[in-house]
Amino acid sequence: MGRLNGHVAVVTGAASGIGAACVERFHREGAHVVGLDLTVPATSRRTRVEHREVDVTDEAAVAAAFASIATARRRIDIVVNAAGVGGGAPVHMLEGSEWDRIIDVNLKGTFHVAKAAVTIMLDQPLVEGERGTIVNLASVEGLEGMAAGSAYNASKGGVVLLTRNMAIDYGRMGIRVNALCPGLIRTPMTSAVTDEPDLVAIRDAMLADHKLGRFGEPEEVAAAALFLASRDASFISGVALPVDGGYTAGRDPQLTRLFGLDG
């Protein structure tokens, strides 16, 4: 029996990476999943997952999509806000248009989706004490800074605090809101940056600071999203959960090697 049987889940950024992994995992767990993204993945024709073309920076389009889903499926139980873009530079080198692009997708897009979701959830009857649950994708860079990450850091830090604010505002209405903060995850967006020849050494240094010594996989983040969206997390709201292989646990200047703890 699936953990999400009978639930309706909406996932943004559904065409690739973490969003696609969430779509697949939630579908396997019995949810009716609607994926939203700028493009519809070709694989959608071979599955029973519904996909729609929606730009999260377009507030009216997001609101219309959510209203249509709620009308067709009678309610929306789960929302995963996974749409996002990378980029950034030191502030004095960052074009205003690049700042706007990153903030518009990562933070404002999250707001658009959250607003549309909450508007619908507030009018839904309680089911097992809940009207709905939202999982926002932030980043370890929303918990601590990263060199040259000005706009991206700001956007993901904003997602973390938006999540906590929503948890405060809507908890008594039966809506849980949490965030996931992934570290280095093997996704197309990550690879597009970290596989650049000039950045391989930097990638490897960052990877060394992930205490498990490897990249994370999108499926591992999807498993954490499933937990937060499920009744197993029924008393959890307002958290920013790192899924980072121990990256934010602290720094190890190779002292573990002195104790034979380097694997």
* 259, part of any domain: no
CB 103 within 8 A of CB 96: no
- Residue 202's pLDDT is what? 84
* 147, part of any domain: yes
Owning domain of residue 66: 8-187+217-239
* 248, part of any domain: no
| Stated pTM of the model | 0.95
Q: How many domains does the chain have?
A: 1
* 47, part of any domain: yes
Q: What is the DSSP letter of 143?
A: T
Q: What is the mean pLDDT of residues 197-205?
A: 84
Residue 63's nearest CA partner among 71, 84, 178, 125 is 71
* 1, part of any domain: no
Q: What does the angle CA 216 – CA 221 – CA 222 come to, to the nearest 5 degrees?
A: 135
pLDDT band with cut points at 50, 70 and 90 for residue 46: low
* 179, part of any domain: yes
* 15, part of any domain: yes
* 23 pLDDT above the threshold of 80: yes
CATH at 16: 3.40.50.720
Q: Which is the catalytic residue, given 66, 99, 152, 170?
A: 152
How far is Cα 137 from Cα 106, in angstroms, rounded to an integer? Answer: 9
* 27 pLDDT above the threshold of 80: yes
- Residue 1's pLDDT is what? 59
Residue 134's nearest CA partner among 197, 228, 12 is 228
Clarify whether 152 is annotated catalytic: yes
Q: What is the mean pLDDT of residues 143-156?
A: 95
Residue 243's nearest CA partner among 179, 191, 147 is 179
pLDDT band with cut points at 50, 70 and 90 for residue 88: confident
* 260, part of any domain: no
* 135 pLDDT above the threshold of 60: yes
